């Protein structure tokens, strides 16, 4: 079972999501190359890597389910509050994806582009989120 973790400000606040979708995307960046036409042949310039982008839909329960990681909260609205507060402060998030053995398969700073929540009949929350990699300026 994979775990998805969001943190901010060097782990000032850390939240493990309660549900990882079965087909969770792990993006690889595209590389932007350019080809130039020369007099005798074409030349290829190796380009920079693009920012990675991810989107997924999952569940934020309002009660504990057996599939949830033990460190995940059973208060779906607390996740909504966490994401809303830090987005409003314009602070990038760190997105970490751990595999079933605890190895980090993804660890990147991101901005949350969109975050939409729907209340289901049973009170649980379904959300869809889109994030884009954030590069710190050195």
Segment 18-34, tens digit of pLDDT:
998 888 888 889 998 99
Q: Is 9 left (phi over 0), alpha (psi -120 to 50) or beta?
A: left
**How many CA atoms are closer than 13 Å to the CA of 133, on its beta-carbon side?**
15
* pLDDT over threshold 90, residue 64: yes
Cα separations in angstroms, 95 against 36, 44, 75? 37, 34, 20
Amino acid 25: pLDDT: 84
Cα–Cα distance measured from residue 30 to residue 107, given in angstroms and rounded to the nearest whole number: 17
Judge whether 44 and 2 are in contact, CB under 8 Å.
no
Amino acid 90: pLDDT: 96
Amino acid 116: pLDDT: 97
Question: pTM (2 decimals)?
Answer: 0.85
Chain position carrying tokens 């606040």: 13
- Percentage of the chain beyond pLDDT 70 is 100
- Percentage of the chain beyond pLDDT 90 is 78
Mean confidence (pLDDT) of the chain: 93
Amino acid 24: pLDDT: 85
Cα 39 to the center of its chain, rounded Å = 46
Cα 74 to the center of its chain, rounded Å = 20
* Strand partners of residue 134: none
Confidence bin at 9 (pLDDT 50/70/90): very high
Cα–Cα distance measured from residue 39 to residue 114, given in angstroms and rounded to the nearest whole number: 47
Amino acid 69: pLDDT: 92
* Strand partners of residue 31: 49
């Amino acid at each position: 079972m994979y775990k998805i973790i969001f943190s901010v400000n060097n782990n000032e606040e850390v939240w493990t999501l309660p549900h990882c979708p079965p087909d969770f995307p792990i993006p690889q960046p595209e590389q932007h190359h350019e080809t130039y036409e020369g007099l005798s042949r074409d030349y290829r310039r190796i380009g920079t890597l693009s920012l990675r982008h991810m989107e997924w839909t999952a569940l934020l329960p309002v009660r504990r389910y057996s599939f949830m990681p033990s460190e995940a909260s059973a208060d779906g609205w607390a996740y909504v509050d966490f994401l809303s507060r830090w987005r409003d402060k314009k602070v990038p998030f760190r997105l970490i994806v751990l595999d079933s053995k605890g190895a980090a398969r993804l660890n990147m700073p991101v901005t949350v582009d969109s975050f939409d929540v729907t209340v289901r009949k049973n009170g649980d929350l379904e959300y869809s989120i889109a994030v884009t990699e954030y590069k710190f300026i050195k």
